[in-house]
Structure 1
């Protein structure tokens, strides 16, 4: 534990509590928007077409329905046709329309409807749909092996991982975010319906209460441990840093070194998902001083110990009256901070989840972590390794699922489709 005992760590918490005051909780995000402009209200539509897919730098909406698919067809043409059909449906649904041209009630009565109907009468609610391609899509089935990006190599096994294979991986993923949970569920349900016979659902996850802000117009939200989450997150206003840390560049290359191997991903990103179950009941019996020492921030204001405000830069050199660091070597904020990893950053947009309770009455709850980055192996992996090896918070959490996906650039117009450059 980097030369500091767990008991000593808890002692540092009290000093941090005394150093900063309490704050208040902002409970609602501001309106959904595309990469550059705010929508007028949470009911409004987010533009679907653009240089980058919506749902990445889009200010995080309130609700999530994430799904990973296994591709069951072995026919490349069928897969392309599915992606074209999905793109057309996504373009419609994100604008508040029904998934198909004839909708839920406008087709032939003897045939299944073009839309499942549960979102009839509901507005677009800021819906965004974002697709990703998993490493397994680049096997021998579709002739894509030579176009697999080098950064799409499997993530390593991290210390303490308790991953469930059935909740991890996937050939394809779709992230649906919206301000209305029924709109997000409707979107995923219709994509699964359209994909019947060509894909099957591997796993899905509902989320609520975003755990990151992706715009400075949004207040920092809280996770189920009660702490503000994602204070140091990348924001859509950080244009230069987005180019450095988020969007894949042409020179990032392919696994075989070919100049044109992964050019299809230029302008895209890499998506990492981790389902992190929290031992809520144990955490709730932990003292406030101990909780704050583990995180390295105050629970009220969210300020790093030794600072007054949430967005004050943590001073990791500052000492307390006893001569020890106010922020312990094993505090979460120190281990995760960009300054501990050569300045690398990620864009996080995770969500809380509660999936009922287990047989002992304990909540099956926690954080569905989502991050976007230019290269997960250079950004996510070093941070997660540090956390897995040293973070005292590991006593209260368990990682049960994991995924890595290449997220293609945006759909330019109605003649384009998700992943077109990959299959060209």
Structure 2
């Protein structure tokens, strides 16, 4: 499952001096489109105990690694993409896309348009000319369901899958030679039962926000903009973050009721992020230079056998994880953040197997989410963990770690990996003239 807190990391805060979103010359934000009526709603929210951030302007931004106020905006431009080291938001809408056009110029034009739309939405602005006030005879530029809502710390993180470089032996867009060596085909791990309809993808966009409607609005608009050029291959909604990049915050719990992400990398730990998460200049030479400052994302849909787990004794549950369920303390310890004594745990305990000390210091940056997608037709919850992990190189990160867990982890009796994808996540968009994937296609 690779889902314990002791294996995680996350990316850094936006570095000082990097480009941030500006407000000059920008159309009114989606909130201001509602005029004073919208402001009245925001004031009412504050009076009722809501966040004061509802009154912020779209240009109010927070550093990527800070635990930002729920209604504020996170800067879109910077050296690294937001949504990796950023403080983890409450909600997720993840979408993998298949590219349906064979025209390189059409794809580049789409990526430019997507980037402009992403910059506007993360700032709290409507796409294009907005959802209202345009020509009555034409569809609006924005779908409108986020009108009046604050940015909600929306981040949009873009990735590129192996099949964009080559598919069925074809160099689709003249970029086959620039495929990074680390963008491998993930191996089939023991116990995997992968659904092809929930795996892979040419492109991906990870939308995280504190309001689910803001996240869904973002993916919906990108899909609408891409009509005829891309199509959603699969998507996943998530709630209840299962990891945190802000160690001072309360550790979240997964669907099994255990705290998750106790020792995830902090978004402000630049040294750890440089070591474990960001692709270094030395890693990205020649044909791979476009990946410098980027990262690699593993996305895994992990089904949890909820009903079986719920009939398991508390002692067995704690033995499986290697932590107690209440405080989250390691076996034999009192507090959650106490250093675990791995040899005091069962050899098959999840924490023992996943801990960096058992894996040559390997760490990955996790920002997964829980999910429930109804039932499976047999009266059982289709629920689990949507595992998202960023790392500098999956060949030294996720792959050896998952091989170890898949072979020995006692938790495997209660989970199954049913979806899988790997994406190269380029560095950040530097300024208004830059766009997602520009260095790859240059």
Task: Indicate whether the TM-score tops 0.5.
Answer: yes
Cα separation, 2, equivalents of 1:104 and 1:315: 57
CA contact under 8 A between 2:373 and 2:381: conserved in structure 1? yes
- SS of corresponding position for 1:368: strand
Is residue 274 of structure 1 aligned with residue 304 of structure 2?
Answer: no
Cα separation, 1, equivalents of 2:62 and 2:316: 38
* Counterpart residue number, 1:134: 161
Deviation at 1:33, TM superposition (A): 4.5
Is residue 169 of structure 1 aligned with residue 197 of structure 2?
Answer: no
Deviation at 1:233, TM superposition (A): 1.2
CA contact under 8 A between 1:94 and 1:126: conserved in structure 2? yes
Cα separation, 1, equivalents of 2:246 and 2:390: 15
Is residue 97 of structure 1 aligned with residue 125 of structure 2?
Answer: yes
Is residue 296 of structure 1 aligned with residue 319 of structure 2?
Answer: no
Question: Which segment is superposed worse, 361-370 or 106-115?
Answer: 106-115
Cα separation, 2, equivalents of 1:339 and 1:33: 34
Is residue 227 of structure 1 aligned with residue 258 of structure 2?
Answer: yes
Deviation at 1:36, TM superposition (A): 4.4
Deviation at 1:88, TM superposition (A): 0.2
CA contact under 8 A between 2:65 and 2:87: conserved in structure 1? no
CA contact under 8 A between 1:272 and 1:403: conserved in structure 2? yes
Spell out, residue by residue over 1:131-183, the C-alpha distance to the aligned partner (whole angstroms, 9 max, x if none): 00001111111011111100001111100000001100000000000000000
CA contact under 8 A between 2:246 and 2:266: conserved in structure 1? yes
Deviation at 1:216, TM superposition (A): 1.9
Cα separation, 2, equivalents of 1:132 and 1:162: 24
CA contact under 8 A between 1:61 and 1:210: conserved in structure 2? yes
- SS of corresponding position for 2:240: strand
* Counterpart residue number, 1:77: 105
What's the RMSD between the two structures over aligned residues? 1.2
* Counterpart residue number, 1:321: none
CA contact under 8 A between 2:66 and 2:246: conserved in structure 1? no
Deviation at 1:382, TM superposition (A): 1.0
Cα separation, 1, equivalents of 2:271 and 2:334: 28
Cα separation, 2, equivalents of 1:217 and 1:170: 35
Alignment of 1:308-327 (within 5 A): 308-317=334-343, 326-327=344-345
CA contact under 8 A between 2:92 and 2:207: conserved in structure 1? yes
> Which portions of structure 1, spanning 4 or more consecutive aligned residues, are displaced by more than 6 angstroms?
none
Which of 100, 115, 134 does residue 142 from structure 2 map onto? 115
Is residue 53 of structure 1 aligned with residue 81 of structure 2?
Answer: yes
* Counterpart residue number, 1:156: 187
Q: TM-score, normalised by structure 2?
A: 0.84
Cα separation, 1, equivalents of 2:156 and 2:179: 23
* Counterpart residue number, 1:401: 419
Deviation at 1:344, TM superposition (A): 1.2
Deviation at 1:109, TM superposition (A): 1.0
Deviation at 1:235, TM superposition (A): 1.1
Cα separation, 1, equivalents of 2:184 and 2:268: 30
Cα separation, 2, equivalents of 1:214 and 1:281: 30
Spell out, residue by residue over 1:362-419, the C-alpha distance to the aligned partner (whole angstroms, 9 max, x if none): 0000000000000011101111111100111111011000010000001111010011
- SS of corresponding position for 2:428: coil
Spell out, residue by residue over 1:78-116, the C-alpha distance to the aligned partner (whole angstroms, 9 max, x if none): 11100000000000000111122x100122111111000
* Counterpart residue number, 1:416: 434
**Structure 1 spans left out of the alignment, 5+ residues:** 1-30, 254-258, 318-325
Cα separation, 2, equivalents of 1:387 and 1:235: 24
* Counterpart residue number, 2:24: none
Cα separation, 1, equivalents of 2:250 and 2:63: 18
